[in-house]
Structure 1
Amino acid sequence: MLRFFRRIRQRLLTESKFTKYLLYAIGEILLVVIGILIAFQVDNWNEERKLRLEEQILLRQLKDDYTANLEQLDSKIATRKVLINSSKELLTYFDNPKAANKDSVVSKLGNLGLTVTYDPIENDLVATGKINIIQNQKLKALLTKWSTDVIQVQEVETIYVNAHHYSNVPAMNKIGIGRAMDKALYEKVDDLSTFLLNREEYIPYDYKDSRLEPSLETVLNNVELEGIVSNSILINEVINAESFTLRKQILEILDLLEDLDS
């Protein structure tokens, strides 16, 4: 092919057809430029195709991750509802001790030990720059905002967990119902399974009742315990409210991922 073009050039020069030669030279240059542009275009097309394949893999992974995040969040919300409802019932016992039943009170107090924290699957899309592979701008915005919203929920969770460990538990031990609460919680294997990595490793234990356990009247006349119960309602209602906002965001993300996958 190159030899063919060379012969044409030589013939035009030999025949002193300079104008035609000039036009031919310009045409040859244009052909070279067009060839280069086509090569660039092919390279760009190949690169874009690779990015879109990478995006599809990323979107499928995100769909799996956020489906798991939703399942975990729903489980934590449900567990907190148990805690909240138990605390509300306990307050009715504080208001009307004569209507209280000791076993019910101890069982409900045991539920106050259900301190749960949300630990979703996180990604480093923003830090690694992979977020830019995603073309959908709304999805990118939701994914970018996700970590901040999770932190907001976790901050309130930490407040309750710290209050439980450093304030509630010592107060309950001081009252003398620590063993009763542990016994009540330990017997609820279905509730404890939320915290277990392997339920098969759960070893039942018979706590038995403590001979030092205070009377029901003493328990329900303790103003510090009443405050603990009341506070558990407030904080966990706030956490669940924040969690429902987070849940809505997950559903938006999953809806977008579903649309992009179809």
Structure 2
Amino acid sequence: MENKTGKYFKYAIGEIILVVIGILLALQINSWNQQRIEDKQEVELLTSIKDEFQHNLSELNQSIEVNNKVTKSCVKLTDLIRADSIVKVPEIVDQLLVNIGGFSSFDARIGITGEVVNSGKLSILKNKRIRTQIGNWLTLLADCEEDILFRSDNYTLNLMPFLMKRFPLANGELTKKLEFDKGNYLITYKEKSPFELNLSLDDLLEFENQVWHHKHNHDYIVINELNVRDFVSTTIKMLEEELEKKE
């Protein structure tokens, strides 16, 4: 009986050990599966964020190109004012006035990053530097918005009223081409305005000041966009490096 009891006891202990091992294995497998799911979610999220930032980089480059044209046109107008050549080259002035009104504002796509930050999905990203970078992204864009609004308001409230009283702005129609008019649907004037510009010395001074003020406000946006581009390029590089580690 003692031998049988000892055998039963050992058998029971063995069964318990097997059950414990089975539970531990099940927990480990479940942990592996959970980790695999989380890794997959992280890769998908990193890829989506990278795609969004690459789109923003492309948009930034286009905006910077347009805004550089505005800066150059402001400089050219100032040169003409100081050389007392505004009246001598009206066609060039017409085109330059169109150019300085064609400024661009970078409109970032933030669907993915906004959801990540606002929904708490930021914790899915294991890289702390990337989490910080994504968290700073929306703040950076908000900081740039004030300069964009200030430039637009100054152009509309100050520069345009001055120009409308002194320049035949309708001549800009002769060369106007809107970038988004891919199908050439735009109908423009074909005839030059019958009105001529006539600027006094005081007008020339104010014109130079108005152009400078527009350029000055515009410079903030240009610098902001260049800084944002550096931020976006750095972020894309960080995301690519992190995705390479996941392969």
Q: TM-score range by the shorter chain?
A: 0.7 to 0.9
Report % sequence identity. 24
Decide whether the 8 Å contact of 1:94 with 1:221 is kept in 2. no
Deviations 1:190-244 (A, max 9, x none): xx21xx2x511532412522223323x4498344332221012111211111111
Decide whether the 8 Å contact of 2:154 with 2:214 is kept in 1. no
Query: In the alignment, what sits opposite 1:44?
Result: 31
Query: In the alignment, what sits opposite 1:251?
Result: 233
* Secondary structure, counterpart of 2:183 in structure 1: helix
How far 1:251 moved relative to its partner?
0.8
How far 1:25 moved relative to its partner?
4.2
Query: In the alignment, what sits opposite 2:97?
Result: 109
Counterpart of 2:203, as a letter, is N
Query: In the alignment, what sits opposite 2:151?
Result: 160
* Secondary structure, counterpart of 1:15 in structure 2: helix
What is the rounded CA distance, in whole Å, between the counterparts of 1:211 and 1:36 in structure 2? 92
Query: In the alignment, what sits opposite 2:48?
Result: 61
What is the rounded CA distance, in whole Å, between the counterparts of 2:85 and 2:8 in structure 1? 113
Out of 177, 180, 183, the residue aligned to residue 173 of structure 2 is 183
How far 1:126 moved relative to its partner?
0.8
| Greater shift in the superposed pair: 243-252 or 101-110 | 101-110
Out of 133, 145, 150, the residue aligned to residue 142 of structure 1 is 133
Counterpart of 2:52, as a letter, is D
Deviations 1:59-87 (A, max 9, x none): 22222211111111011111111111110
Counterpart of 2:173, as a letter, is K
Does residue 71 of the first structure (1) align with residue 58 of the second (2)? yes
CA RMSD, 1 decimal: 2.5
What is the rounded CA distance, in whole Å, between the counterparts of 2:2 and 2:30 in structure 1? 37
Does residue 119 of the first structure (1) align with residue 107 of the second (2)? yes
Decide whether the 8 Å contact of 2:98 with 2:176 is kept in 1. no
Decide whether the 8 Å contact of 1:87 with 1:229 is kept in 2. yes
Taking structure 1 as the reference length, the TM-score comes to 0.81
| Greater shift in the superposed pair: 49-58 or 78-87 | 49-58
Stretches of structure 1 that go unaligned for 5 or more consecutive residues are: 1-11
Taking structure 2 as the reference length, the TM-score comes to 0.85
Aligned length, in residue pairs: 240
How far 1:170 moved relative to its partner?
2.2
* Secondary structure, counterpart of 1:143 in structure 2: helix
Out of 192, 201, 210, the residue aligned to residue 193 of structure 2 is 210
Counterpart of 1:15, as a letter, is K
What is the rounded CA distance, in whole Å, between the counterparts of 1:211 and 1:83 in structure 2? 27
Deviations 1:23-74 (A, max 9, x none): 6545543433332232222112111111211222222222221111111101
Query: In the alignment, what sits opposite 1:9?
Result: none
What is the rounded CA distance, in whole Å, between the counterparts of 1:204 and 1:169 in structure 2? 23
* Secondary structure, counterpart of 2:102 in structure 1: coil
| Greater shift in the superposed pair: 138-147 or 28-37 | 28-37
Stretches of structure 2 that go unaligned for 5 or more consecutive residues are: none
* Secondary structure, counterpart of 1:235 in structure 2: helix
